[in-house]
Amino acid sequence: MAQIRVAGSGNERGKFVVAADGCYFLASEVENKENNEEKFLVFSKICNTNIRSVMVYGRAPLAINNFIMNSHGELLALGERYLENGRESMLLIQFDKNLEILHANVFNENGNELEPYDITEHAGDYYITGFTKTGEVISNGIGYFTQETQHFYLGRYSCELEKEESFLITGFGEGNAPTGKVIASDGSYIYIAGNVIGEKRSAVVLLRFNPETNKVDWANEYRIPKDVGVTDITIKQGEIALLLTITEKDNSDAGLLLVNMSGEVKGAYFMPEEGYQRAHRMELASEGALLIHGTSGINQFMTQRSVTRLDLSDGNYRLRLEGSGQSNEAGGMFRDGEKFVYTGYEFASKRGYDTVLRFSDRLIADGKSGKTNRLEAVKVSISVSAQKFPKSKPLFESELFKEKIRYQPSDYLKIE
């Protein structure tokens, strides 16, 4: 198995990777060790042992939430910008394969906070999910204060990264905090999964959005007797697979929820391992198997990266641990033909963290074997609707991007 270590002089956290034309494109978050409030993004192109990087700085700290390659071979970064008041705005940057910026914009929703989580391409547009907040000024008899409400968010953006329209998905009940976490297209419809956080638990929700009518066709809540977070989605052979992290007391496990294209439960499973397990990303390994990238450890601080092959036909899995066992964290995964490339980061002593790229076949023949346990998942239909948000402009125009956020070639990262 090959590994590439990408290092700099700060804390380098590899988050996402895609592959094309024999090269790997890496998106990392970097933290200035002298000032941990200064966080910026580095995008790198790695061909053999050659690396070319560009930096993106902001007046406020930046984070990367997804990094994809579109149907035209262009790279799209979905990120967020942390503002001084603790609120977030959405950052979109589109690159060509030479890492030259084609388009870039920063958005909120008419002054409201906007935190994006995932993005998919559909019919030439980009659909983005996450959450936004709206505020209402209320009097308590003494003074006035702003009461904020969190909303499940869906936005449609053009290939030039201009906002076309956006929606609040409403109807999840009083006092809940709904968030869209993952999104995918089957070519006809948009499927969005997320969490609704109540007083006692976090429930999984899945809905189908019709981009022709701008309406929600159906929406379901899946009641699982544990706290559950959704981390990835894939559509395969007439089924929707949702990757889960399942938490109960001090233990967490990776899990999977399978539903058909109408939202009916086909199966739910978790992989029982001791300690702390968190699922991050998955890719199809073969017709009946998934490859899952995650984090595993005795607690959330002493961790290794994990790669698991899960065979859906019999529920057997094989898990391999990687890294030193001290503060390793998994990032994205990408299928490149018959091999898989995945990224993450690991503690590198006084230097802080280094990004790692690793490669695997689809078999995981050298891993620890295990058997999944069934998970109770009860589907409950819920009534939600998509309410259109007023059209808003970006916080600054694309042509002013370099004046607002610094962008420059860099030799900051190097291969070791």
Q: Is the pLDDT of residue 200 over 80?
A: no
pLDDT at 50 over 90: no
Q: What is the pLDDT of residues 64-85, one digit of tens each?
A: 999 999 999 999 999 998 876 6
Query: If pLDDT is split at 50, 70 and 90, which confidence band does 86 have?
Result: low
Cβ contacts of residue 385 below 8 Å, gap of 6+? 169, 170, 171, 215, 216
Alpha-carbon distance of 412 to 410, in angstroms, equals 5
**Could you give the CA distance from residue 79 to residue 63 in angstroms, rounded to a whole number?**
5
| Tokens representing residue 93 in the block | 């940057």
Q: What are phi and psi of 349, to 5 degrees?
A: 60, -135
Whether 143 shows a pLDDT value over 70: the answer reads no
Q: Do 340 and 322 contact (CB within 8 A), yes or no?
A: no
pLDDT mean over 5-26: 88
Question: Which class for 170: exposed (0-12), middle (13-18), buried (19 or more C-beta within 10 A)?
Answer: middle
State the pLDDT at residue 9: 67
Mean pLDDT for the chain overall: 86
Q: Which one-letter DSSP state was computed for residue 389?
A: P
- For residue 296, the model assigns a pLDDT of 92
Q: With bands split at pLDDT 50, 70 and 90, how would you rate the model's confidence at 391? A: low
Q: How would DSSP label each residue in 270-335?
A: EE--SSEEEEEEEEEEETTEEEEEEEEESSSSSEEEEEEEEETTT-EEEEEEES-SSS-EEEEEEE
Reported as a pLDDT band with limits 50, 70 and 90, residue 267 is very high
Can you give the pLDDT at residue 95? 93
Greater confidence, 329 or 410? 329
**Distances from the Cα of 362 to the Cα of 21, 79, 115, angstroms:** 21, 30, 34
By the 8 A CB rule, do 295 and 277 touch?
yes
Residue type at 277 in one-letter notation: Q
d(CA 205, CA 228): 11
User: According to the model, what pLDDT value does residue 1 have?
Assistant: 46
Two structure tokens written together for 300: 């959330």
The pLDDT value recorded for residue 26 is 94
State residue 257's pLDDT score.
96
What percentage of the chain carries pLDDT values higher than 70? 84
Residue-wise pLDDT for 201-226, tens only, equals: 678 999 999 999 999 999 999 988 88
Determine contact, residues 231/182, Cβ cutoff 8 Å.
yes
* Tens-place pLDDT, residues 162-184: 889 999 999 987 667 899 999 99
Q: How confident is the model at residue 19 (pLDDT cuts 50, 70, 90)?
A: very high
* pLDDT level of residue 402 (50, 70, 90 thresholds): very low
Asked if 246 and 253 count as a contact pair (C-beta separation under 8 A), the reply is: yes
pLDDT value of position 397? 45
Q: Are 18 and 67 in contact (CB under 8 A)?
A: yes
Question: What's the pLDDT at 241?
Answer: 97
Q: What is the pLDDT of residue 403?
A: 43
CB 270 within 8 A of CB 373: yes
Q: What integer pLDDT is reported at residue 113 of this predicted model?
A: 84
- pLDDT, position 152: 93
Is the CB of residue 272 less than 8 Å from the CB of residue 266? no
DSSP 8-state assignment for residue 226: S
Q: In what order do the strands lie in the sheet with 414-415?
A: 329-336, 339-347, 353-360, 3-7, 414-415
Evaluate whether 175 touches 194 at the Cβ level (below 8 Å): no
Q: Work out the average pLDDT over 100-116.
A: 83
Q: Looking up tokens 């894939």, which residue turns up?
A: 234
Q: Quote the pLDDT of residue 31.
A: 81
Instruction: Say if residues 291 and 283 touch (Cβ distance below 8 Å).
Output: yes
Which residue from 226, 217, 234 is spatially nearest to 250, judged by alpha carbons?
226
Per-residue 3-state assignment (H helix, E strand, C coil) for 100-162? CEEEEEEECECCECEEEEEEEEECCEEEEEEEEEEEEEEECCCCEEEEEEEEEEEEEECCCCC
120 has a pLDDT exceeding 90: yes
Q: Is 408 left (phi over 0), alpha (psi -120 to 50) or beta?
A: beta
